[in-house]
Amino acid sequence: MQEEKVWSVSEVNASLREVIEGCFAPFWLEAEIGNLSIHRSGHVYLTVKDEKTQLKAAYFGGAAQARKLDIAVGSKIEIFGRLSVYEVRGEYQFIIKMIRPKGVGDLQRRFEELKSLLASEGLFDESRKKPIPLFPRRIGIVTSPDGAAVRDILQIISRRFPNLNIRIYPSAVQGKGAEKELAKGIRFFNGKSKVDVIIITRGGGSLEDLWPFNEEVLAREIAASEIPVISAVGHEIDFTICDFVSDLRVPTPSAAAELVVGKQEEFTKTISDFRRRLESSIKMTLERFKHRFQNASQSYVFKEPLHLLRERQQKVDELSNKMESMFGLYTEKLKSKASDLKSRLKNLNPESVLQRGYAIIIDSMSGTVITDPDVVEGTLLDAKFAKGVLQVKALKRK
């Protein structure tokens, strides 16, 4: 007679777990939150329900996501996961892998459809991405002027490059019609107010909050932009159509500021590194040529040419000395001639004549020099001597 198997409670619960997990593939579940507990361990424990019944659920490591979605008791949600059994209590529960507010499924479908359409048109291709300028002089920012995103960007840029030209196009960043305002901002910076790079940005939020950045009108405006566009929308885990079509996607607004202005100290260090490498390269090249020259100078074939070179150098030195000697003689000759001319000029100088006791007679009225004694009687005359002038009057001519 076959002995009957006696089961333990643990064996029953373990078997039930295998049966349930084997029978149910992962699926989406729509429900309302009945109660909610976010544990300090980072796990979320909740009860989900509908009009008739309820089900326990656990979201391991989902505390951050739960806080981000701002879910609470009464929230309508959609959760993806699988059924399992908590063997310790003999309770079956829903193990959550993903969670989203109810209705996000339609938005996600629209997101994927638009993403596929634009990708098929080549709007996401790397080949059409424009490079971000290394040193932009003017930066255009399309965002809400009251948001934390623009404050973070301005703070970082002003700390790094306080004199950088920043222009802000104020726009709504969520809600109906925000996508048109954002697209208008991109168009503005491509038209009347030319900038070197455009940053389109906002802080994090739910899929509904970020939805304007998933609209086709904005995506096509970014794709048509002649100016490079950086997308800094949401947090690192958030992705929008805007991210895919922009020339560059960064995880946060702060990262966009860091990228656009760079770091002065990094630039300085890079330049210093290039300088050191260049100096080292030049030094090594000179040493290599010096070594090659020294080796070549010791070879037999260069001994005679070096001797001839030294002879030519000696001849050049002799010619140089001869030229210096000739130049010295010529200079002395010119000095002697100049001295002779100076002496002759001095002798011809009227002042020199006066020094020998002569005088120059000048008509006091006209200032003309008198060379003829035929002067009207009584004419006043100036007799200029070497040491002064004597006024005289003409008398009768003898």
CA within 13 Å, CB half, 326: 6
Q: Mean pLDDT in the chain?
A: 82
Distance CA 294, CA 313 (A): 20
Query: Does residue 245 carry a pLDDT above 90?
Result: yes
- Write out the chain in H/E/C secondary structure: CCCCCCCCHHHHHHHHHHHHHHHCCCEEEEEEEEEEEECCCCCEEEEEECCCCEEEEEECCCHHHHHHHCCCCCCEEEEEEEEEEECCCCEEEEEEEEEEECCHHHHHHHHHHHHHHHHHCCCCCHHHCCCCCCCCCEEEEEECCCCHHHHHHHHHHHHHCCCCEEEEEECCCCCCCHHHHHHHHHHHHHCCCCCCEEEEEECCCCCCCCHHHHCHHHHHHHHHCCCCEEEEECCCCCCCHHHHHCCEECCCHHHHHHHHHCCHHHHHHHHHHHHHHHHHHHHHHHHHHHHHHHHHHCCHHHHHHHHHHHHHHHHHHHHHHHHHHHHHHHHHHHHHHHHHHHHHHHHHCHHHHHHCCCCEEEECCCCCECCCCCCCCCCEEEEEECCEEEEEECCCCC
- Mean pLDDT across the stretch 248-275? 74
pLDDT digits 0-9 by tens, 279-300: 888 888 888 888 877 776 666 5
pLDDT digits 0-9 by tens, 144-197: 888 777 887 877 777 776 667 888 898 998 888 999 999 999 999 998 778 989
Distance CA 348, CA 66 (A): 115
Query: Does residue 105 carry a pLDDT above 90?
Result: no
CB atoms within 10 A of CB 310: 10
Tallying the residues shown for the chain, one arrives at: 398
How far CA 38 is from CA of 46, 222, 242, in Å, comes to: 8, 40, 33
The reported pLDDT for the residue numbered 10 is 84
The reported pLDDT for the residue numbered 144 is 86
- The CATH code for residues 107-264 is 3.40.50.10550
Closest to 249 measured CA to CA, from 219, 274, 276, 275: 219
Q: Six-digit token pair at 105?
A: 């499924």
CB atoms within 10 A of CB 330: 10
The reported pLDDT for the residue numbered 244 is 93
pLDDT digits 0-9 by tens, 29-81: 989 888 899 988 889 999 999 888 999 999 999 998 888 888 888 888 889 99
The CATH number of domain 10-102 is 3.40.50.880: no
The reported pLDDT for the residue numbered 104 is 59
pLDDT digits 0-9 by tens, 305-359: 655 566 677 787 788 888 888 888 888 888 888 888 887 777 766 676 677 777 7
Could you tell me where in the chain the CATH 2.40.50.140 domains are found?
A: 10-102
Between 380 and 57, residue with greater pLDDT = 57
Look at the alpha carbons of 95, 98, 104, 106 in this order and tell me if their dihedral is positive or negative.
negative
**Strands across the sheet containing 380-385:** 360-363, 380-385, 388-393
